[in-house]
Structure 1
Amino acid sequence: MSSVSKVYGSGPGAVTALDGVSISLSPGTFTAVMGPSGSGKSTFLQCAAGLDRPTSGSVRLGETELSSLRERELTEVRRSRVGFVFQAYNLVPSLTVRQNIELPLLLGAGATDPGWLEHVVATVGLADRLDSRPSELSGGQQQRVAIARALITRPDAVFADEPTGALDTRTARQVLGLLRSVVDSTRQTVLMVTHDPLAASFADRVVFLADGRLAGALEAPSPAVVAERMTRLGEW
């Protein structure tokens, strides 16, 4: 992402959600994005993942310039090269766990690789629940299904938006530990938006946003240091 700005509206009422943000994510790393409410976190994630187009600047996924793609091409990139994990899980109630995990493939992202499916299912700890429906699972298990679904296409990057926001503390730790292990074992690249210093501490690096601009970063963050930095940004 290079010099990315995103402006909503026009004229005197225009709102600048991102203001010249530049950042690079190394393959196989776990990055958390934090900032006060209204700092541009969600807009940052949406532009980085190709869910929204920046007003100006460049967003690249590998060698692909996202902002130059037509909508159909962008949809194909999101389907096959990007994984998404959201707070609300977004599972299809009528489908089994296996079908939910394979959904991106069923929608055209490619054929199922049985070996990779087996690996992903084992990684998230759902090998014995493949025939269950989402309603038969706990919140943590449903989020594990969502993580498996995000990984099934072997994406260039996984984007997680408050993935533990609906979970209790113990379950959240388990899900965050899973994301950490996915990065370490498969060299997956993960970008996570969060408001929680504990969640951010599972990442390799925390990037802070304030008023749509980068406001610093921390390497190998601890919850206490993250919370202190957020206090200075006016959030805590």
Structure 2
Amino acid sequence: MGKGCAVAGRYALLLESVTKTYGSGRNAVTALNDVTMGVPRGTFLAVMGPSGSGKSTFLHCSAGLDRPTNGGVTLGDTRLAGLNEEQLTEIRRERVGFVFQAYNLLDSLTVADNVGLPFRLAGTPVPTDRVRAELANVGLADMGDRYPGQLSGGQRQRVAVARALITGPDVIFADEPTGALDTRTGKQVLELLRGVVDRTGQTVVMVTHDPVAASHADSVTFLADGRLAGELVAPTPEKVAERMTRLGEW
């Protein structure tokens, strides 16, 4: 095992000198610029930065949704470089969980079927007991037969969290998970994600613009102009907001 693999073993996610450039020549835009960082297993990381800082590109490259121009990403014990599209699809389906601002549930499927969807897509039997257990874990034990349109926004986001957990992924990526929710409901979803980390040792990486949301994480990594711009451990809303203000100076 090479040194890089040994280091990766400590991390659920490892980025090594990751650069992502869109376009070429004069029109080239560097969205990520030589980013190297690791996310330890069993931690909750928030990623923040101003608009255009590279947050979405960071998430897309980390989750195998996009390929870096240079550098490498290791998810769990698997280097993503060199994998073909079919292999990346399998990685995303079985080893990555996603929680999006817009929930991304299928309205034609019941709540239980939405949670079991990764297994259906893989062509494997859906573990119904596990589906029920995950719904119970997110406080929706009696909602399996309902449809997304019958649920509140907070309940739909809980379904999305259950679906993200069902395969026991290396990392759950949450992209502005409270962006469409009111303050009270958003706080409940954030407490749920915090509980997932504390209870199961799961790893969560959350992109957010909200200092209150970021305060639920163990640490916050800041991006500015595609580069790492510092880290804040044990964040509070006030400390996060103050650091975000200073990013403009950075």
**TM-score greater than 0.5 by the shorter chain:** yes
Map 1:36-115 onto structure 2 (within 5 A). 36-108=50-122, 110-115=124-129
Aligned to 2:133: 119
Map 1:63-212 onto structure 2 (within 5 A). 63-108=77-122, 110-212=124-226
> Residues 34-82 of structure 1: CA distance to partner in whole angstroms, max 9, x if unpaired?
0010000000000000000000001001221112101110110001000
Give the partner amino acid of 1:193. Answer: V
Mark the CA change 1:38 to 1:109 in structure 2 (over 3 Å): closer, same or farther.
Answer: farther
Task: Give, in whole Å, the separation in 2 of the partners of 1:24 and 1:115.
Answer: 34
Aligned to 1:214: 228
Q: Equivalent pairs: percent with the same residue?
A: 66
Aligned to 2:5: none
**Pairwise CA distance, 1:112:** 3.3
Could you tell me whether the CA contact under 8 Å between 2:112 and 2:132 is conserved in 1? no
Unaligned runs of 5+ in 2: 1-14
**Pairwise CA distance, 1:202:** 0.3
> Residues 193-219 of structure 1: CA distance to partner in whole angstroms, max 9, x if unpaired?
000000000000100000000000011
Task: Give, in whole Å, the separation in 2 of the partners of 1:234 and 1:105.
Answer: 44
**Pairwise CA distance, 1:161:** 0.5
> Residues 157-198 of structure 1: CA distance to partner in whole angstroms, max 9, x if unpaired?
100100000000000000000000011111110000000000
Unaligned runs of 5+ in 1: none
More relative contact order in 1 or in 2 (CA 8 Å, sep 6+)?
1
Task: Give, in whole Å, the separation in 1 of the partners of 2:125 and 2:220.
Answer: 35
> Residues 18-44 of structure 1: CA distance to partner in whole angstroms, max 9, x if unpaired?
000011011111000000100000000
Could you tell me whether the CA contact under 8 Å between 1:79 and 1:109 is conserved in 2? no
Aligned residue pair count: 235
Could you tell me whether the CA contact under 8 Å between 1:34 and 1:208 is conserved in 2? yes
Map 1:13-28 onto structure 2 (within 5 A). 13-28=27-42
What SS is found at the alignment partner of 1:172? helix
